[in-house]
Chains A and B, each alone.
Chain A
Amino acid sequence: MVVGCLQGDCHYISGNIRARARVERVLAILGKIGIGGERLRMFNLSAGEGGKFAAFAREFVDSIREQGPSPVNLVRAGSGQPAEAEGGR
């Protein structure tokens, strides 16, 4: 979970927009290699939005729990079918 400041309100002007572009790139990579892009999310919040932050964190934790352990952890634990990346063997 990556949290950046609100769009248009970044101390580094466009730092949060660039960060989002980079997060989206990582998300695409995770999707392509079979780990699942939905394991990474970016939220934009101000420092004063504690309640919203807590809600986003809960939502994200629920989503991760729903997805279960990552394919890497399943393979390490010897209890999962190996994931197949796009492009396959």
Chain B
Amino acid sequence: MITGTEKPIEEILAMVEPYQRLILAGCHGCVTVCRVGGAKEVQVLASTLRLAREAAGRPLEIHEVSLERQCDPEYVEKLRGLVGGYQAVLSIACGAGIQFLAEKFPATPLLPGINTGFLGVTVRQGEWSERCQGCGDCILHLTGGICPVTRCAKSLFHGPCGGSVRGSCEVDKEIPCGWQLIIDRLEALGQMENYGRLKPCKGWSSARDGGPRRIIREDML
């Protein structure tokens, strides 16, 4: 999922300061799962903002809404009849969802209510961890299902660097060395021959380096 974290309430209050009527839009996708942008978080944030603004003598009218997904046009359209009646939309979806709303409603200011994080997994309730950087050229079949691009702080492709100490990364002892994880797993799977089958060099043309990417599926157009 795409993870996110709450923005400090002071930052959100400063963002909404010029407005008296706004829409607070959540998303039932990833940000609901990581408990930062779903229907429940819409209610909590809306109540917080209303209280803060009322206590400050500048009441704020908030229309609470949660879309199935803010990154798909059919769900975003549900806001169309609503946005004209409000001064701004505060979205607590990921950056993709917020930008999509901005594209669809060009006359309405869009405010980000969360900080978007990474592509990750739920390690346990309340803890999420990064697993994928979307490099566009997956080689997990060669690395025991552990991504060197993400799990190695340097995104190295041919084994650990000199900073790998007793299984930990030199960046932080709490971070396991990605390459230690890969080699341990390849050994456990009896697939150490894969270690020598890694590509001589990683092509980054499918990653972010070429600018914003897009996918076109001719069979679906």
- A64–B42 Cα distance when bound, in Å, is 29
A88 CB, min distance to chain B CBs, angstroms: 8
Contact with B along A66-89 (1 / 0, CB 8 A): 000011100110000011111111
Alpha-carbon distance between A9 and B48 when the two chains are bound, in angstroms: 32
A33: chain B residues within 8 A (beta carbon):
9, 13, 48, 51-52, 55
B54–A75 touching, CB < 8 Å: yes
| A34 within 8 A of partner (CB) | yes
> Which residues of chain A are within 8 angstroms of B9 by Cβ–Cβ distance?
29, 32-33, 85-87
User: In whole angstroms, how far apart are the Cα atoms of A86 and B171 in the complex?
Assistant: 34
* Assembled-state Cα–Cα distance A72/B52 (Å): 8
B48 touches A83 (CB 8 A): no
Check A84 against B54 for contact (C-beta < 8 Å). Answer: no
Q: Cβ of A35: which chain B residues have Cβ within 8 Å of it?
A: 51-52, 55
User: What mask results when residues 1 to 41 of chain B are scored 1 for a CB within 8 Å of chain A, else 0?
Assistant: 00000001111011001000000000000000000000000
Q: Are A82 and B58 in contact (CB under 8 A)?
A: yes
Measured between C-beta atoms, what is the minimum distance from A5 to chain B in Å? Answer: 20
**Is the C-beta of B56 less than 8 angstroms from some C-beta in chain A?**
yes
- Contact mask for chain B residues 114-147; partner A; CB cutoff 8 A; 1 contact, 0 none: 0000000000000000000000000000000000
Q: Which residues of B contact A87 (CB under 8 A)?
A: 8-11, 13-14
Q: Which of B10, B54, B56, B58 contacts A76 (CB 8 A)?
A: B54
0/1 string, A48-76, CB within 8 A of B gives 1:
00000000000000000000001110011
Q: Are A83 and B17 in contact (CB under 8 A)?
A: no
* CB under 8 Å from chain B, chain A span 6-63: 29-30, 32-35
A-B contact pairs, 26 of them (CB 8 A): A29-B48, A30-B51, A33-B9, A33-B13, A33-B52, A33-B55, A34-B55, A70-B55, A72-B54, A75-B57, A76-B54, A82-B56, A82-B57, A83-B55, A84-B56, A85-B9, A85-B10, A85-B13, A85-B55, A85-B56, A86-B9, A87-B9, A87-B11, A87-B13, A87-B14, A88-B14
- Which 4 residue pairs of A and B lie closest in terms of their CB atoms, listed nearest first? A87-B10, A82-B57, A33-B52, A71-B55
